[in-house]
Each structure stands twice: as structure tokens, then as C-alpha cells.
A and B are shown apart, each in its own frame.
Chain A
Amino acid sequence: MSDPLLVVEAIETAYGQSRVLHGLSLTVDEGEVVTLMGRNGMGKTTTIRSIMGLTPAAGGSIRFRGREIRTLPAYRTARLGLGLVPEGRRVFPNLTVKENLIATAAPAAAGMRDAWTLERTLAMFPRLAERAENMGNQLSGGEQQMLAIARALMTNPALLILDEATEGLAPLIRREIWDCLKTLKGAGQSILVIDKDIRALGRIADRHYIVEKGRIAWSGDARTLAADPLLHARYLGV
């Protein structure tokens, strides 16, 4: 077994004086789908922001393919192969769908199979192909989420990170997004995903982490999570 793709070790992150993460650790292996669950305000998004270098962690270690990335600026982290689908989608409203996709696209790293090109991305999201010339702010929420995922894929990431994969979307669109993630998983894409839909996550994820007050409170595989209703009541508020 080779080293994990991503190793987060005891990171500490604060916004100004208020500390959010208290020694949080997690790993993602190559080809694995891993989730971060937990109630609002527990530090899920901050964990993602720390990994990406958007809100750098003050302590601990973050290694991607064995390389320390904790203090790298976000653009260098992204270039190493982390593709972010941020909370709130954040598509560029003043760019067309097509421009959103190609503005920050990056070629695949050497040795990567099936690089994401504009054609392949639009084939995966036919709805975006239909709206290629529309501006980002003319899309529905579901279309924006597809665009945010497609935009991240166009950077040909080794690890796709989704912060709130389906939040605020209609059930039909949610199903589409989950199907899409399943397809990606089938193609060997490593994914770290945050969402509140525990059942959907349970279907596609290999392992789960539950975040509570800036630490990992529980981790395990999907079966263990499903078998333990107490976990849901205690950490997930359902």
C-alpha cells in the first residue's frame, strides 16, 4: 500500500482570535471517496479552506502526495492537483459557461488517464453544453453546481473537493449530482465531499469522518455508520 494521497495531521486553524480547528486529522487514499460530516459551525468548511491554503492552518501538517502543502498559497495547492467546488458554488457570474470552464483549465498531469477536456466535460454535463454561451449568473442553482464541478474537473485534479455538494438543490438535481459523483468514482477519481445527505453519502463513500468542534469525533466506513443510529443523533442532529 502506497502513501495516502492526502494526509491532514493535527491541524490548527483560526480566524483571527477565534480558533476553529483543534488538531484535526484525516486521510484520503488514491481512488477513495471520503466524506466530512457534522453539524453547521463544527469546522468542515474551515478544514477544506485549510487544505486548499485559503485559510492557512497555523499548526499541524498537510501533505499531498507526500509533499508538505500547509503553508502554500491556494494557487500552488490547486496546481498540485486539488480541485475545489466551493460552498455557495461561486461560479464567475460575468463569464459565460464556456469561459468559466476554460479560464482556469489546466492540462492533465503526466500519466493521468482520460484527461478532462472541454468536450468530455460538456459530454458529462449536457445541460451545460446547452447553456455554453449563457452567463454564469443566468444559470439555475443546479446548473451552477454542475458548472462548479465541471470547472474543478477542468483543472484535472487528482483530488476533487466538494464543499456542500447538493445543498439547496431540488431532489432531481441532487440525484443528478450524486450520479455524476458515482461516475467519477467509477473512473477512479479521489473525492473529499461535504454534504448533509447522509444516505446519499453512504451509498457512494468509502469512509466517513464526523467533525465535532474542530476535531474528528468519529471515523469509519459506511456500514458502521449505517449500523449505529446513535451516531446520527449525537453528531449529525437527525
Chain B
Amino acid sequence: MLLLIEQSLNGLQFGLLLFLLAAGLTLVFGIMDLVNLAHGSLYMMGAYFAATFITWTDSFVLGAVLALGAAFLLGVAIELVAVRTLYARDHLDHVLATFGLLLFFNELVRLVWGPAGRTIQLPGILNTSVELLPGLSYPTYRLVVILVGGLVAFGLYWLVARTRTGMRIRAGASDREMVGALGIDIRKLYTLVFGLGAVLAALAGIMAAPITTVSIGMGERILIVAFVVIVIGGIGSIRGAFVAALMVGMIDTVGRAFLPEILRGFMSVPAANTLAPALASMLVYILMALILFLRPQGLFPARSG
């Protein structure tokens, strides 16, 4: 039981990180109709920026905030220089060009930070555990990740659902030309959305860094899962991305933890031990296939409302 609670918290934390990454991806895909394979690079760049700024400033929080600012500027620059020229083109061009960006950023990191990974040390106050229940202590930092992820998710929901900027973003997802004909500079809005997506991706990268490591290619592994999330949630839908990210995070984490035990219930131990890890890593894709079969537009199709 305690293990289930602990793994559920891990699932929640992974889900929220996935949401931060998927939110930008789904906005950019849903509104600009742009497939951005370089979104994971922003996740990675956020983590590397943080590694450097935390060393410079000797403060985890200050370093992280500076890294978010840098990620925003980087996102805006990428949009203005490269991505802006892609909107009018088709998806194959998007994939080729943003894959090029992905390779570019991996090489850039190799040049600037070197091929070896970095680790981000947590400050002492975060590097502790909290006893949630008798016998269940949970790392403080992971709780902070859950808290920050939850707050940002709420803030993003508020931005998209309640503000005029959010209304324009949603309106742009359904009829971009009409938004322009009513006096809104849609190009500027796109740049802003791309920058916002970059900040969210970087935040996910920064928060994941102390738990995993900062390394080249860290963005690609999680990007695939983030794409699964936005397909399940319905492309363009923030709410869908949120629900799907939590589902995927939970199923992936809890599945990995409990599948071996469940399988052992009705097959031999060696067979279960072989099958469980393979099946666990397939779970989210099985979920995606299932949802695509039942609801091809995803859980919350954005375009129809």
C-alpha cells in the first residue's frame, strides 16, 4: 500500500513534468499547425542553462529563474529565425527542419558544455525527505516538483481559459485568418506562444535535471512520450494535455513498479520477469492505440470546442 502511494506520487510528478513539455508542444501544433521535433531541445537547453547559471550564481532558485529567461529568449529567437519560415510549408518540411534544429542543438551542447553530462546539486533544504505517513518518507524535492508543476498547470489553464490572450490563442487555433482580419497580429502571437512553450519545456528540463542527469539527447527520450500525450489529449487542447499527461505519467510509473508482481500471479517467475519490463514500456503506446481507436481526435478535440 505504501509502495502504491509512493509510486502514485512519482507518477503524478512525472505526469506534471510531461504536461509542462506537452503543453507547449500541443499549443504550437494545434495553433500554428507546426510539428516541432526541436521541442525536446528546449527541455535540454533549459537544463544546461540551469546547470551553468546555478554554478555562477550559487543559488538553485536564481539559477533556475535565469535559465527560464534564457530559454524564453532562445525560443523567441528560434521562432523568428527558423520556425516562422515553416508555417506555410507542410508537415514533412517541419519534421526535416526541426530535426535539423535538434541535431544542431545537440552539437551546440557538445561544443559548449562538452560531451560529458552534468549533474545539478540540490540545495540542502530541498535534499531532504518528508514523512508523509508513518513509514512513508518522500523526497522534499519531488513534492516541490509536484507543487510547482501543479501551480504552473493552473496558471496556464487560467491564461488560456480566462485571459484575452488565451482567447486569441484559442481563436487562432480555429481560424487564424479571421483573427488577423479582426486586428490581431497573429505573427506576434505565435512568437509569444512559441516563447511560452520554450519556457515550459525548459522548466520541465530544469526540474527533471536533479532527479536524472543533464545530458545530450535527454530531450529526445521524453519528447516521444510528450507526443503520445498530445495525441491522447487531442492536439491543441491544454486540458487534454493535462489529463493525458497525468494518465501517461501514472500508467508508466505504476506499471513499471507493479507489472512484474501482477504477471507473477499467473505465469512463471522468469517469464514474468522477462515480459514485465517490455510490457511496461509499451503500456503508454497501448493506451494511445486504444484511445485512438475509440476517439481518433483524442480525449478533448480542440478545434471543435
Q: How far is the CA of A104 from the CA of B175 in the complex (A)?
A: 13
Residue A231 CB within 8 A of the other chain: no
Q: For the complex formed, measure the closest distance between the CB of A149 and the CB atoms of chain B, giving whole angstroms.
A: 12
CB-CB under 8 A from B177, the residues of chain A are 54, 74
Verify B167–A99 contact, CB threshold 8 A. Answer: yes
Q: Identify the interface centre among B173, B175, B180, B185: most chain A CB within 10 Å of its CB.
A: B180
Verify A78–B182 contact, CB threshold 8 A. Answer: yes
Residue B181 CB within 8 A of the other chain: yes
Verify B180–A75 contact, CB threshold 8 A. Answer: yes
Residue B179 CB within 8 A of the other chain: yes
Residue B186 CB within 8 A of the other chain: yes
Q: Identify the interface centre among A74, A94, A102, A135: most chain B CB within 10 Å of its CB.
A: A94
Residue B94 CB within 8 A of the other chain: no
Verify A94–B303 contact, CB threshold 8 A. Answer: yes
List residues 178-227 of chain A with CB under 8 A from any CB of chain B. none
CB-CB under 8 A from B185, the residues of chain A are 75
What bracket does the count of chain B residues touching chain A fall in? 20 to 34
CB-CB under 8 A from A136, the residues of chain B are 305
Other-chain residue from B171, B181, B186 in contact with A92 (beta carbon distance below 8 A): B171
Q: For the complex formed, measure the closest distance between the CB of B185 and the CB atoms of chain A, giving whole angstroms.
A: 5
Residue B168 CB within 8 A of the other chain: yes
CB-CB under 8 A from A90, the residues of chain B are 175, 178
Residue A117 CB within 8 A of the other chain: no
Chain A: which residue is nearest B175 at the CB level?
A: A90
Q: Identify the interface centre among A95, A151, A152: most chain B CB within 10 Å of its CB.
A: A95
Other-chain residue from B171, B174, B303, B304 in contact with A104 (beta carbon distance below 8 A): B171
Residue B164 CB within 8 A of the other chain: yes
Q: For the complex formed, measure the closest distance between the CB of A146 and the CB atoms of chain B, giving whole angstroms.
A: 16
Residue A56 CB within 8 A of the other chain: no
Q: How far is the CA of A140 from the CA of B184 in the complex (A)?
A: 26
List residues 161-214 of chain B with CB under 8 A from any CB of chain A. 164, 167-168, 170-171, 173-175, 177-186
Other-chain residue from A74, A93, A94, A137 in contact with B181 (beta carbon distance below 8 A): A74
Other-chain residue from A73, A79, A95 in contact with B170 (beta carbon distance below 8 A): A95
Verify B182–A104 contact, CB threshold 8 A. Answer: yes
What bracket does the count of chain A residues touching chain B fall in? 20 to 34
Q: For the complex formed, measure the closest distance between the CB of B190 and the CB atoms of chain A, giving whole angstroms.
A: 12
Other-chain residue from B167, B182, B183, B305 in contact with A93 (beta carbon distance below 8 A): B305
Residue B302 CB within 8 A of the other chain: yes
Chain A: which residue is nearest B178 at the CB level?
A: A90
Q: For the complex formed, measure the closest distance between the CB of B191 and the CB atoms of chain A, giving whole angstroms.
A: 14
Verify A94–B182 contact, CB threshold 8 A. Answer: no
Verify A84–B181 contact, CB threshold 8 A. Answer: yes
Verify B182–A155 contact, CB threshold 8 A. Answer: yes
Residue A112 CB within 8 A of the other chain: no
Verify A104–B173 contact, CB threshold 8 A. Answer: no
Verify B178–A86 contact, CB threshold 8 A. Answer: yes
Q: For the complex formed, measure the closest distance between the CB of A143 and the CB atoms of chain B, giving whole angstroms.
A: 16
Other-chain residue from B168, B180, B302, B304 in contact with A103 (beta carbon distance below 8 A): B168
Q: For the complex formed, measure the closest distance between the CB of A78 and the CB atoms of chain B, giving whole angstroms.
A: 4
Verify A78–B181 contact, CB threshold 8 A. Answer: yes
Verify B305–A137 contact, CB threshold 8 A. Answer: yes
Other 17 A-B pairs with CB < 8 A, given A74-B177, A78-B182, A78-B183? A52-B181, A74-B181, A75-B183, A75-B184, A86-B178, A92-B171, A92-B174, A93-B303, A94-B173, A95-B171, A95-B174, A99-B171, A103-B164, A103-B179, A135-B305, A137-B304, A155-B182
3 closest A-B pairs by CB: A78-B183, A103-B167, A104-B182
